[in-house]
Structure 1
């Protein structure tokens, strides 16, 4: 009989990349994590760890086992839910995670609506970037996450996470009030090629989106200022220090001395909902996904 706890340690090593990183995430010592995997190997009659210099790595047998481990974990979670389900009413703790703009524009209003619609449900939100979201899902500390897909990069760990598109979030050009383009309703991004630009600093997925959009328009932006927080970007634009591409989900205060312009071709980023396999069948998660779908159209008007 396979010990699912030991199997989870093996999955953690694969997820985090090293025994040390997996042990830290699971609050084990590296030696204890290695021992758990060796014991699992003895139970199965195979070797799951082999030396690699001063470290160890997963063997081909371990990789073959991992091909089944995620299915085993998903089936076990479904079995637990079936046993605990009294009815189909969403109830209990629902752990949500997402990057800052997703929290403010989507998860916060969705959680508020869920509390009203389903009084037995308790949403808990964690602000987290994509890598952290996947870790929270893996450890069971999140049930549903919103992540920003990286351009030209396949979804992470396809078999381990259920990733589906929620919306395509367009980028708008933000210019100071009184700017030569401010009276326009829509602009070609190439018209801002010679402007000073405010661009998200590295490492940041949005920076990749902005540089890709400018490259597609035929220019490399002259970066005058770096900013990660959209409020900072808006303030810099309002003071006439440059122009910027801002995702539609990022709210711009009506009092800000800026003008938001739609772009020809609508450069955009994809926002994904991510759960563990089978997670969408849980009534609380299904209710949250339905609420997010209701919110999306209201968030994308200029």
Structure 2
């Protein structure tokens, strides 16, 4: 049994990571900004900015590795508080890296984001193209990624970052237009946007994202420090809306034309490196993910 520290363990991805680790027999030490859960699923309160609390938790057990999911997640979060974005996403990551360095942990897996790229050129987009984030969120994830790599180079810490694309699932609490379309359809509400019908999205279900992170924890032959990880299903938002309509015929969706004016304009991301080194293959199609999300929301099990 390995003991894995999972940061952000009450969040969309962290919760799925913790569940997958427990299912295979690992012990999970889960932390988040607010305590939650019970028995073996307990998540302890710990703000990533509180380095003393982090080290106290690490000292109380023998950790093997860290999967770092804790962060302000997405460019729509804390947009009006960029200073806090930097404190949580950058300083918080540095605090977690210090735990890994001081306790000489086997590996740290860092959740990064395709937001580090900003707008991209023609796809497929591979990991070594220039990264030009257009948001403070994207810049914080890029900074965290670079610091994570620097800890590997300078201090010999085994680290890897996964650049996750648009993560969705019924338990998502921050805004996600895909989840919104499903929730609106179930509630008999229309979904309307002023733009975005032609925006390309490579969604990834939270369970697939968690699988990739666990694969990165286990991988024996990492040839690079960062990997694109997506659902490998690139569609326009119009095409995604059509999937929602197929599953929920009552859905009333009208998307404004053109790209999403509130997001980066990105092309297809290449995940061949993650397939090769992490042995990662997405298992949940967009159709299956939307169907499962609809069933979960209808049954009131999300939360």
The answer, yes or no, to whether TM exceeds 0.5 is no
Which structure's residues are more often strand, by fraction?
Answer: 1
Instruction: Answer with 1 or 2: which has the greater Rg.
Output: 1
